[in-house]
Chains A and B, each alone.
Chain A
Amino acid sequence: MRRRDLLSGIALLGSGVAYSKGREVEKPAAPPVADDWESVRRQFPLDRRWIHMSQFILASHPQPVRAAIEAHRRGLDENPFLYVEENLERFEKGTRQAASEHLGCEPDDLAMTDSTTMGLGIFYNGLQLREGQEILSTTHDHPATFRALDLRAARTGAVPRQAWCASTSRG
């Protein structure tokens, strides 16, 4: 039986999220202990029969994040319009506030995007470039960078170039 099949009727405690009465929610994992890395790993319901070496592509969510996703899903399902009207500004402000504290900047320094690809597209298309100027990236950059730079080049007359970066031994 998978962990997500193990539903219990108790409400999540300490997640900072209000739940409707009587809803079944996932039983929370014990909170992580600072000096016990295994307790941190247990927050993630990864299938332990596998060795996961591609988590940067799609990541598993830890228990508090799953609880938040579930709360948002319910809120949106129960009253889509009101949930957004009452929470959107608060959530977005809160997210930027938390991120700014983590990064050591002002909340207004941060913009939220749907994805890294979208962020790169906005950023690269803000580059002020003149006709004939070169935009240098490397062959190791992500396709989202190549596409965005190609589009920026097409609009400005700049020339995208890629430098080959061979693996170099250190020392």
Chain B
Amino acid sequence: MKDTEVVARLKEKNIIASTTPRVYGVDCARFAPSLLTSPSDVEGCLRAVRALA
């Protein structure tokens, strides 16, 4: 699955992820937690990623 599709699928589940800049040489979907990220946010992301597999 392409990184852009991963991001699009996560967005359908109300998760804002992003893709690495194309110049990085490897295209990845990425989660960037911040000081506002809660443990339940992380759990939600993990569940969503598992559901993609």
Contacts and interface: CB of A to CB of B under 8 A. Distances in A.
Interface of A: 40-41, 44, 46, 49-57, 59-60, 139-140, 142-143, 146, 164
A146 to B, nearest CB: 6
A41 B36 contact: yes
A161 B26 CA distance: 17
The prevalent SS among residues of A at the interface is loop
Residue of A53, A59, A143 contacting most chain B CB atoms (<10 Å): A53
A65 to B, nearest CB: 14
Nearest to B36: A41
Contacts of B44: 51
Q: How large is the interface on B (under 10, 10 to 19, 20 to 34, 35 or more residues)?
A: 20 to 34
Interface string B2-19: 000000000000111110
B45 to A, nearest CB: 6
Contact of A50 (B16, B18, B31): B16
